[in-house]
Structure 1
């Protein structure tokens, strides 16, 4: 059985420093898709050959918690960048609350858990209304700590993170990340685990060559199946991105959640296709793929990334909260706070249960001729999105430039 584990790896942590020191009944439609795509493009620009994985929803939730305490320009920059400026003030909090409730309600087919925590410096007075709204909209656990005891605080947060991500994220912080100047820390974690509606059979997994965009090749474990999926071929209208590319949507059990895979032609680098990615295009893909029988070759892959979001968010127009001009006065009576640090760490793994014993002998032929059905051969870099099909909410977004690599000197490899 193939299981997708997105051990949520999504933690967004925000540190606020004093400036004197250096099931919802009506499921709403998510309005943050454009923000999600803009985040991706900023991360893509930072690393030409790197894997990418991040959670747009996790970023939006963490910014929502900050927004609760923001006023003036600090508030408006967040609303504008995330995509809430067209809503009446405050409506976005109910929207985020309802989205997370709809996603995390009891479901026999997949597991999604959200966890939010707020750690306050002992002796600092915070606005009771701010704390009340944090509880109301984000169900945040609130604790007081002494940030001057930096090692103890780092251990406490790391333990909390491990407990909410099935121990996939650990040692996220060190004692150096905290000091007596730290006043408040917000932590957001998302955990997702789902299995495909159409599962891969482990005995069909083979060692395979994966061609990277820099011209090199690596050996990986390629899963295979022929099944009913949502599939389409799209054109970018030019030759810059190779003209035609493939989109495959693979639902998880229950079909509320799915993974979209966008694959350029073999000879076309993913970087040539990435500039066309837009929020409207995500909807076009989702609305126009058609259910049909498809042959799917998909590598096992594991991607992990720790992102310093401060510079990325500033590039997207969220600048004020990181400066001495920050207005976070809804958190406290004064205006002596600003955001000192923003971090997200994500971990995504696609593999079969018991994968260690799933490697078979032999190679799958790389033929593209005489096939009866469309063939999706993900043996070169591809883009992916994990989203809720009802709301459009994007849990994870990223790309695979290098999948899980098999050592050619490994015994299983030599036996082939």
Structure 2
């Protein structure tokens, strides 16, 4: 039955919590107002928060034609990929890893709306934001909308991929949120704000937000927020949840799965259930091989990068937008005998240490400048949480028009045996946006 075929199911969420820091931060006076974008400099009075349980939102509708140019889209996608590669290199080295750079960038870009001064410049540098605030948020919106477009053909009886991106925000009652901040949330991120009282309901709110995340991710991400994540000092929380479910365009043969040896990064051998079958596009590079396997419809695909024995660290260090583009341009349809471990990876990344080490320091300090969110009290980011999970198996046996097959006379297939550490990513084909990135180094 088509409904039981899952193929690969990644999901992840990112959350930002902002709390009051100092009652009168010295750097909030004297920041250069010219660094703010025009739409955030209007003399409109702040919007007073409604009562708990009500929603504060801009009257603006989401912009469905943001007007981002192809060049802006390409620069944002490349920048997001380079941020992903940097975060990948410093996160849990030598361990299995899986995360969504797109989800992290989405959550941080929402709070970036209100960043000013050095807080803004540090965030832009670390997150690799290539555009001004005035152009970044419309381009983020354009990219999000482009990811929802389906151009591939789904054969009758096949299940098309499910891809969902949602944003949520919760703000403390009584705070005067800047109208321009609420406008950007509405226009470019499709989000309003729920008014809550963290001071008296922190534990209850944590449970409610965790339940919201669980519902948005089809029950796959639970307990995103720890018991210490939401406190009476929390004033604003922004959450991004991303969910993907896709079936392979050309499935693995479940009956062909056999235990085979996998050599971990430390050299030890362990048995893994090795799937066998499928076909895809292939290329060979300097010290590595790579394949791309489409999902039903061809709008999304998984790319696997298999370094040669002993060259994993070298190849991983070359990961970048330019490196991936080089792979894409050389991929060619090939008759392949792909042998891939059935695996799953679950990750929870402590992002504040990583982002701080990369140079994003002010945002987490008592002197953070987020006066574009609220003018008073001063806020700083007190928590950045990210969880993700991926499961790869034989299921997902639908055929699709986008399936690549060997052309020419019959021949013996080339074997692509993934029996050693590898890198993998899931990307949106049309935009080249990397949705998920990971490494698998040990069963």
Contact 1:386–1:395 (Cα < 8 Å) also in 2: yes
Displacement of 1:14 in angstroms is: 0.8
**Which 5+ residue runs of structure 2 have no aligned equivalent?**
24-63, 155-159, 398-410
Taking only aligned residues, the RMSD between alpha carbons, in angstroms, comes to 2.3
Q: Does 1:384 align with 2:384?
A: no
Contact 1:38–1:316 (Cα < 8 Å) also in 2: no
Distance 1:221 1:328 in 2: 50
| Structure 1, 102-111 or 158-167: larger mean CA deviation | 102-111
Displacement of 1:35 in angstroms is: 4.6
Displacement of 1:106 in angstroms is: 6.0
Q: Does 1:205 align with 2:205?
A: no
Structure 1 205/46 Cα, relative in aligned 2: closer, same or farther at 3 Å?
A: same
Distance 1:268 1:184 in 2: 47
Q: What is the DSSP-based 3-state SS (H/G/I as helix, E as strand, rest coil) of the residue aligned with 2:335? A: strand
Structure 1 141/353 Cα, relative in aligned 2: closer, same or farther at 3 Å?
A: farther
Distance 1:141 1:352 in 2: 40
Q: How does 1:274-285 map to 2 (within 5 A)?
A: 274-285=316-327
Q: Does 1:90 align with 2:134?
A: yes
Distance 2:74 2:245 in 1: 22
Q: Find the counterpart in structure 1 of residue 14 from structure 2.
A: 12
Distance 2:387 2:161 in 1: 22
Q: What is the DSSP-based 3-state SS (H/G/I as helix, E as strand, rest coil) of the residue aligned with 2:251? A: coil
Contact 1:39–1:312 (Cα < 8 Å) also in 2: no
Q: What is the DSSP-based 3-state SS (H/G/I as helix, E as strand, rest coil) of the residue aligned with 1:31? A: helix
Match of 1:130 among 176, 181, 197: 181
Q: How does 1:167-246 map to 2 (within 5 A)?
A: 167-227=219-279, 229-235=280-286, 244-246=287-289
Q: Does 1:119 align with 2:170?
A: yes
Q: What is the DSSP-based 3-state SS (H/G/I as helix, E as strand, rest coil) of the residue aligned with 2:177? A: coil
| Structure 1, 27-36 or 148-157: larger mean CA deviation | 27-36
Distance 2:10 2:415 in 1: 29
Q: Find the counterpart in structure 2 of residue 79 from structure 1.
A: 124
Structure 1 5/321 Cα, relative in aligned 2: closer, same or farther at 3 Å?
A: same
Contact 2:251–2:394 (Cα < 8 Å) also in 1: no
Displacement of 1:176 in angstroms is: 2.1
Displacement of 1:32 in angstroms is: 4.2
Q: What is the DSSP-based 3-state SS (H/G/I as helix, E as strand, rest coil) of the residue aligned with 1:395? A: strand
Distance 2:74 2:86 in 1: 23
Match of 1:260 among 300, 303, 308: 303
**Which 5+ residue runs of structure 1 have no aligned equivalent?**
236-243, 356-370, 404-416
Displacement of 1:139 in angstroms is: 1.2
Q: Find the counterpart in structure 2 of residue 65 from structure 1.
A: 110
Match of 2:339 among 289, 294, 297: 297
Displacement of 1:300 in angstroms is: 0.9
| Structure 1, 385-394 or 152-161: larger mean CA deviation | 385-394
Q: Does 1:52 align with 2:97?
A: yes
Q: Find the counterpart in structure 2 of residue 363 from structure 1.
A: none
Q: How many residues align?
A: 375
Distance 2:83 2:172 in 1: 34
Distance 2:282 2:8 in 1: 23
Q: What is the DSSP-based 3-state SS (H/G/I as helix, E as strand, rest coil) of the residue aligned with 1:90? A: helix
| Structure 1, 196-205 or 113-122: larger mean CA deviation | 196-205
Contact 2:78–2:321 (Cα < 8 Å) also in 1: yes
Match of 2:218 among 154, 159, 166: 166
Q: What is the DSSP-based 3-state SS (H/G/I as helix, E as strand, rest coil) of the residue aligned with 1:303? A: strand
Q: What is the DSSP-based 3-state SS (H/G/I as helix, E as strand, rest coil) of the residue aligned with 1:4? A: coil
Displacement of 1:401 in angstroms is: 1.4
